[in-house]
Amino acid sequence: MAIRNIILEGDPMLRKKSKPVRQVNDHIRETMQDMVETMRQHEGVGLAAPQVGVMRRMFVAEPVPDEVYYMINPEILEQDGSQTGEEGCLSVPDLEGVVERPQHIKIRALDLDGNEQSYDFEDFHARVMCHEYDHLDGVLYIDKATETYDPQERYEELQKEYEEKNKELRKKLEEDGAISVEE
Ligand code: NI
């Protein structure tokens, strides 16, 4: 296995529609294993083939640790409900955004053996699959996000908020005599 380079937003390859995989062979399997390794190296939860310059309809996803999905020629058969949450993308580093996604999807894809599988996903799993699926059509989450921000800046803002709140809390706790110092 090998770590692949991840293409960043701005490269026209990320905006193209990928072509179906014609045959699930060793080359495809090796590419997908490389994608898993690359995704893990970057602490991502999903990676689509066009992100590593392979313009084929396939992606890998690991929404929770050690639960890896290999999706080849995926098709979203059903989607319903809606959820709003935060997303990031390995092709758009140092940014996060708020995106609306379906609450539930039914997706069909070929696995690494070329067998057809269908899955029902909800919540975060559904979000990850929709995000990766979009990559195959040249769509990035930032196209759909209602808001994007730098998580580092957001963290600094939050730290300031916490600090203010802690000052108030501390005062209140002291007034109540609720603070005890262990010697
Ligand atoms: Ni992405």
The pLDDT mean for the chain works out to: 95
Q: Over the stretch 28-81, which tens digit does the pLDDT of each residue have?
A: 999 999 999 999 999 999 999 999 999 999 999 999 999 999 999 999 999 999
Is 168 assigned a catalytic role? no
Q: What is the pLDDT of residues 146-164, one digit of tens each?
A: 999 998 998 999 999 999 9
Token duo for residue 148? 């994007």
Per-residue pLDDT for 118 more than 70? yes
Q: How far is the CA of 35 from the centre of ligand 1 (A)?
A: 13
Give yes or no: residues 132 and 183 share one domain. no
With contact defined as beta carbons under 8 Å apart, do 40 and 66 qualify? no
The pLDDT of residue 21: 98
Distance 21 CA to ligand 1 centre (A): 20
> What DSSP element (H or E) covers 37?
helix 26-41
Q: Give pLDDT, residue 163.
A: 94
Q: What is the CATH number of the domain that holds 69?
A: 3.90.45.10
Instruction: State the distance from the centre of ligand 1 to the C-alpha of 46, rounded, in angstroms.
Output: 7
* 1: confidence class by pLDDT, cuts 50, 70, 90: confident
Q: Which residues surround ligand 1, an ion (CB under 5 A)?
A: 89
Question: Is there a single domain that holds both residue 158 and residue 135?
Answer: no
- Expressed in angstroms and rounded, the spacing between residue 152 Cα and the centre of ligand 1 is 19
**Full residue range of the structural domain in which residue 174 is found:** 151-183
| Separation CA 107–CA 91 (nearest Å) | 24
Band (pLDDT 50/70/90 cuts) for residue 98 is very high
Considering the entire predicted model, what is its pTM? 0.88
Residues 141 and 163 in one domain: no
> Residue 109: its pLDDT value, please?
98
Q: Model confidence at 179, in pLDDT bands (50, 70, 90)?
A: confident
Q: Which of 132, 168, 175, 183 is catalytic?
A: 132
Contact present, 21 and 33 (Cβ < 8 Å): no
Give pLDDT, residue 183: 58
User: Ligand 1 centre from 121 Cα, in Å?
Assistant: 18
Coil, strand or helix at 67:
coil
Same domain, residue pair 49 and 112: yes
In a domain, 7, yes or no: no
Task: Say whether pLDDT at 110 is over 90.
Answer: yes
